[in-house]
Amino acid sequence: MKHISVLAIAVLCTFACSKSDKTDKTDKEHSPGPTAGPTVKLALSKQTVALVKKVGGDKLSARLFFPKDSAAKRALRDYFARLANQSGHKIAVAAHDAKVEPRIARSLRVRKNGTVIMYRGDVRRTMFVGTDTKAVPYRGDWFDKTLRGMLVDAKPRGRLYVVDGLDTRDVTARKQLGYRTFKRIADAIGFKLRALPRAMDKIPADAAMVALIGPEKKIPQPLQTALRRYITRGGRLLLATYGGRMTTAETLLDDMDLAYHQDIVIDPKHMAKTNPPTPALLRTSKLAKHPVWKHLKGRDRQMIFPHTGALRRSTKRPTIRREFEHRTIAHSEATAFADTNKNGKRDAGEKLGEYPLVVAVSGPNGFRAIVLGSSALFTDAIAAKLKHVQYFFDGAIRWLGESREPKKTEPKKTEPKKKQ
């Protein structure tokens, strides 16, 4: 059970996929010029104009995929020209025809005309509005609201440092063990990934977040000290262990009042449906109401955790300091057990129970962490195949990246008492 079988991966491929996007660097952008009398005029709100004025030095650009001389393309060009004029912010617009320029369309993952791609700096968002100017996207303020939401969502979020070289698996030799999908997801929501060498003795000042994925090799003492200081001063940490293997992050976990149960958690009743069955693919719908699961609704509220261990409160300290708040945001079904002897079936002494698989940690100075028992989730073999996992990454990184500043609350207005 060291790695997920090829057949298991083939079955997982039936889930929705989302692959990496590449921008064609050779295509030139140009500023929006005068439009040739659009027959449809899209609504432009003061809120959108004000938002564009506040984006500062972020470069704004748009790519429009529409047939040549279509009314829809003219309407969008007119909209961006008015937005640029009223906000005083230059917006570069490039127009394409997906049928005439299929190479550019494929490189940007555009399947058909009627697609708008909006960039804020290096962060991009895509929406499909179609080419029918009588359809909903061209009526009222639908397009304006959607674009405004895209610009807010595409805010640059800083640098995410990944501690490199601690996983005993060679992620470069085997493509399915790589982390390209994780990088793409982080890039898509505004983070820039950087490698954090093991030899580092301090966390860079511009770190918005630090990730340790499957740490098995020994963490050098200087880096371990730097990470502990990072936790103390309120950093953001994404930590994933690997079921069935030892982790070298015990000290960091103990600093957060957590401990790791390294045995693989197996649930014969809720294994992912593969042929032949793969015991290490645990499926659960026990997901707490937490921002990391906001994309999963109704019958889709389930996750697969491959090769997962479990987490529990640390018992090493004689007196547990209640500095850290733990919230289990995913646990196994009650029919699961920790496979201590690694034989794939439940034996005497292996207790059934709801094992915590993902824990959200909050602590002093605004510290936040997401701790998982499965680092295999981050590999391309899983992340590139399961849309559910990509939704989790998106929600988890967003939650970790939220501002440390407390929300300002306006004082309640009190009306003067009336004289009797």
Q: What is the CATH number of the domain that holds 101?
A: 3.40.30.10
User: Are residues 54 and 184 part of one domain?
Assistant: no
> What integer is the mean pLDDT of 206-212?
90
Q: How many domains does the chain have?
A: 2
Calculate mean pLDDT across residues 322-326: 82
**Cα separation of the two ends of the chain:** 81
**Residues 121 and 75 sit within 8 Å (Cβ to Cβ):** no
In a domain, 212, yes or no: yes
Whether 182 maps to a domain, the answer reads yes
Same domain, 90 and 225: no
Q: Please report, for residues 102, 226, 241, 252, the alpha-carbon distance to residue 219 in angstroms, rounded to integers and kept in the order given.
A: 48, 11, 14, 10
Name, of 23-27, 125-129, 291-295, the range with top average pLDDT.
Answer: 125-129
Residues 102 and 194 in one domain: no
- The answer on 340 and 395 residing in a single domain is yes
Given a cut of 50, whether residue 233 has pLDDT beyond it is yes
- Pick the residue with more confidence: 21 or 159? 159
Say yes or no: 340 and 352 in one domain.
yes
88-111: pLDDT as tens digits = 999 999 999 999 999 999 988 899
DSSP3 helix / strand / coil % (the chain, rounded to 5): 30, 25, 50
Separation of alpha carbons 356 and 198, rounded Å: 29
Question: Is there a contact between 364 and 341 (Cβ–Cβ < 8 Å)?
Answer: no
CB 405 within 8 A of CB 365: no
Q: Could you tell me the CA-to-CA distances from 321 to 35, 44, 328 in Å, in that order?
A: 65, 54, 18
Tens digits of residue pLDDT in 5-30: 433 433 344 333 333 344 344 344 44
* pLDDT at 298 (0 to 100): 57
Distances (CA, A) of 156 to 58, 206, 213, 401: 9, 13, 23, 11
High-pLDDT (> 70) share of the chain, %: 81
Q: DSSP class of residue 418?
A: P
* Structure letter (DSSP) for residue 352: B
Average pLDDT over residues 62-83: 94
Residue 232 domain flag: yes
CA angle 87, 159, 191 (to 5 degrees): 60
276 CB neighbour count, 10 Å cutoff: 8
Q: What is the pLDDT of residue 355?
A: 93
Distance CA 127, CA 135 (A): 14
Question: Does 57 have pLDDT greater than 50?
Answer: yes
Q: The domain containing residue 280 runs over which residues? A: 157-400
d(CA 399, CA 380): 22
Residues 117 and 191 in one domain: no
> Do 373 and 329 meet the contact criterion of CB atoms below 8 Å apart?
no
